Chains A and B, each alone.
Chain A
Amino acid sequence: MFGEYSLGDLGAIFAMQGFAGLILFSVYVLMALGLAIIFGQMGVINMAHGEFMILGAYMTYLCSGFFQAHLPALFPAYFFVAMALAFVAAGALGMLVEWGLIRHLYKRPLDTLLATWGLSLILQQAYRSIFGAREVGVELPSWMMGSVQATDAIEIPINGLFVMAVTVLITLVVAGLLFASRYGKQVRAVMQNRVMAGAVGIDTGRVDCLTFGLGCGIAGIAGSAFTMIGSTGPTSGQLYIVDTFLIVVFGGAASLMGTIASAFSISQTQSTLEFFLSGSTAKVITLLAVVGILMLRPQGLFTLKVRR
């Protein structure tokens, strides 16, 4: 298929394709990070993860409407406000859910799965009642659309760069929180041994609540960022959920590094295959490969060595 193209063309295309893979990687990391924190640190499966993301997207939609109507001068910068709001809204809802629902179920992880699925149905219907069944169009500041002309042939989409920047930032903040702060130490202590952590005076309930809120808040930011590349509707969240879970499981649930590594390998596989094969086939092969590897190595790529 490359016979008739010049070397320069090919170079440019491979550069852009590599970049497309990186964007997909960032998208995956952003999707999976919140879930990885909740699943990895708390063992809870949050089936409503996609709906928390869409909450972020709807906050962005509301923000864009508000800024257009009342503060048109600040419109170019509204996205940052929207992301902060998305974090706060999704995080607050997450803490509420943890308090009302999840904390009763820590001993029954399979049941959290059903309960959060129920929650996701309720949230979907709530979005439908509030925002309507149709997808909403989120208007973006013009500087965020379009692309940077790197060379004659290479064009880099700005929204892709933006998603990458957000991903890097969030990952660093989360890593900092978990590995360098007092709160992070508490989280890890609770994860490794809940009873002991309680015994040394850690308020495990509070830690759980904060962690769940943090995970949901990050989902909110992800949703907000995804308004640039995807659709915003009551059921859009479901589009992401399987991919997200596979990334987290593939990475090894308890490990942040694992999540990043698995997002990288899955995104690169998929984006390379998509380029050489067709989209549908690429998706199936990627998913099959992931499940195949999981059958051989069910604990995921990276695992924390904990005595059970």
Chain B
Amino acid sequence: MAENEGGLESALRRRLLMGLAAVPAASLLPRLAQAAGPPTASVNTTGLAVTDTEVTVGILHSVTGTMAISETGAQQAEKLAIEEINAAGGVLGRKIKVIQEDSASDWPTFAEKAKKLLVNDKCAAVMGCWTSASRKAVLPVFEQYNGMLYYPTFYEGLEESKNVIYTGQEATQQILASLDWVAKEKDAKTFFFIGSDYIWPRTSNKIARKHVENVLKGKVVGEEYFPLGHTQFNSVINKIKLTKPNVIFTDVVGGSNVAFYKQLKAAGIDLSKQVLMTISVTEDEIDGIGGENIAGAYACMKYFQSLKNPNNEKFVAAFKKMWGDKTVIGDVTQAAYLGPYLWKLTVEKAGSFDVDKVAAASGGIEFKGAPEGYVRIHPNHHLWSKTRVGRALPNGQFEVVYESADLIEPNPFPKGYQ
């Protein structure tokens, strides 16, 4: 993949340029197309960048800096979705025009660019952000200037905003069903938690601990946090050996992941015997860890690239066609793909691009074409979704071993778990 990355980036830029070139051409066409949608004055009463033929949407991800690694997939998926929507006729008869901003992995830059997208560019909606810190940085901007943000990452919950649609899972959705599964299937009673030291792992582990202690009547035998970027895990691995937990439950992120799994394997902990459950490793991360180092681990997510359903097969094929054969698709990438579609459906239901109307119409929106299967927006602006458990294979993919029977209700402020 190494030599392809540069090519990929330039392919990306070329595509963007083509997109931009295509826009004026489209607007030169006879204004017949305009009849396809309702008049602009009626669908845009608040001065958003909506014309008779196009509507502007922002994409806000880091192209440079440390987060670029993670955010690439999300913005690729968003562009794919927008391209598909445009090919199918756009939203209310208007093509989506994309303005992309690079937030350079820097939180104030996220806030600045968000403000630019809302104030200067008058974007009708923005797809973007990745880390909790970046979302926290832009949230006041979206609330102050009344914008619409579609946020793709699974996150810690404890937040609900009129101006944000959370297309990833919040912590209870992701964790509880999988803990139930592992307790039942693997007869797990004792758990060891390892995480990177910041809010998402800490909140997730807190929820997991309450569930283990109060509902599963099990025991947490260890809970450890390491600074981001930490690379030495031998001591904690010894603690694992000492406490012999049934399940190692991890939410380590970034480069630490690679070190953790390599050292775990080297220390003789065989993941085909020791149950390890992670909520932070998607197909994207396995690329760097190496499939052979993590094979046998369980991940709980709402989406895996290997899901067998027609929507997903179509999505995976389209994604690879657009971004190259070697790209992999992780949970967040899929959630990012939902953003533009959910926005389109909401706008069409509201019959307007106005942010207030879109926000009000969001609850109850259903999307049947989602690669993960049917999803629906809850009135609290999170998604109803299924949770799945996948087992990592040496080739870097997951084999789905469990899927919750029903959609799980999003519950960002879980009672009894705080």
Contacts and interface: CB of A to CB of B under 8 A. Distances in A.
Contacts of A61: 2
A280 interface: yes
Interface of A: 5, 9, 13, 16-17, 19-20, 23-24, 27, 61, 129-139, 145-147, 149, 155, 157-160, 228-233, 235-236, 238-240, 270-271, 274-275, 278-280, 282-283
Interface string B1-35: 11011101000000000000000000000000000
Given A130-B2, A135-B287, A24 B266 contact: no
B69 to A, nearest CB: 5
B262 interface: yes
B87 interface: no
B217 interface: no
A155 B234 CA distance: 12
Contact of A146 (B4, B225, B268): B268
Contact of A230 (B5, B69, B231, B239): B231
B241 A283 contact: no
Nearest to B72: A133
B235 A274 contact: yes
B265 A145 contact: yes
14 contacts: A23-B234, A134-B284, A135-B287, A137-B287, A137-B288, A147-B267, A155-B267, A159-B266, A231-B256, A240-B231, A271-B232, A274-B232, A274-B235, A274-B236
A301 B66 CA distance: 35
B241 A280 contact: no
Contacts of A19: 234
Contact of B263 (A139, A157, A236, A278): A157
A146 B292 CA distance: 12
Contacts of A129: 6
B290 A132 contact: no
A142 to B, nearest CB: 9
Contacts of A147: 266-268
B38 interface: no
Given A16-B238, A17-B238, A133-B68, A230 B255 contact: yes
Contact of A136 (B2, B265, B267, B291): B2
Interface in B264-289: 265-268, 284, 287-289
Contacts of A145: 262, 265-266, 293
A149 B66 CA distance: 39
Nearest to A272: B235
A271 B238 CA distance: 11
Contact of A231 (B197, B284, B288): B288
A135 B231 contact: no
Chain B: interface secondary structure? helix
Given A231-B258, A271-B235, A280-B227, 15 more contacts: A5-B242, A19-B234, A130-B2, A132-B2, A132-B6, A132-B8, A136-B288, A146-B265, A157-B266, A158-B266, A230-B262, A238-B229, A279-B224, A280-B197, A283-B230
A279 B227 CA distance: 7
Given A136-B288, A137-B288, A278-B224, A131 B267 contact: no
Contacts of A131: 2, 5
B234 A20 contact: yes
Nearest to B1: A132
B323 interface: no
Contacts of A157: 234, 263, 266-268
Contact of A229 (B72, B257, B266, B291): B266
Interface in B33-68: 66, 68
The 3 closest A-B CB pairs, nearest first, are A132-B5, A135-B288, A231-B258
A278 B292 CA distance: 28
Contacts of A231: 231, 255-259, 288
A134 B289 CA distance: 11
A186 B170 CA distance: 63
- Max chain B CB contacts within 10 Å: which of A130, A134, A146? A134
A235 B64 CA distance: 12
Contact of A278 (B68, B225, B293): B225
B255 A236 contact: yes
B413 interface: no
B68 A275 contact: no
A107 B397 CA distance: 55
B402 interface: no
B226 interface: yes
Contacts of B2: 61, 130-132, 136
A271 B68 CA distance: 32
A201 B230 CA distance: 47
A27 B78 CA distance: 42
B30 to A, nearest CB: 44
Contacts of A238: 229
A160 B242 CA distance: 19
B5 A133 contact: yes
A239 B226 CA distance: 13
A204 to B, nearest CB: 37
B230 A135 contact: no
A134 B225 contact: no
Interface in B325-352: none
Q: Which of A19, A27, A137, A149 has the most C-beta atoms of chain B within 10 angstroms of its own C-beta?
A: A137
Contacts of B235: 17, 20, 271, 274-275, 279, 282
A154 B52 CA distance: 73
B242 A230 contact: no
B358 to A, nearest CB: 33
A279 B290 CA distance: 24
B206 to A, nearest CB: 15
A278 B290 CA distance: 27
A239 B266 contact: no
A277 to B, nearest CB: 9
Interface centre among B256, B262, B266 (most CB of A within 10 A): B266
B227 A139 contact: no
Contacts of A280: 197, 225-227
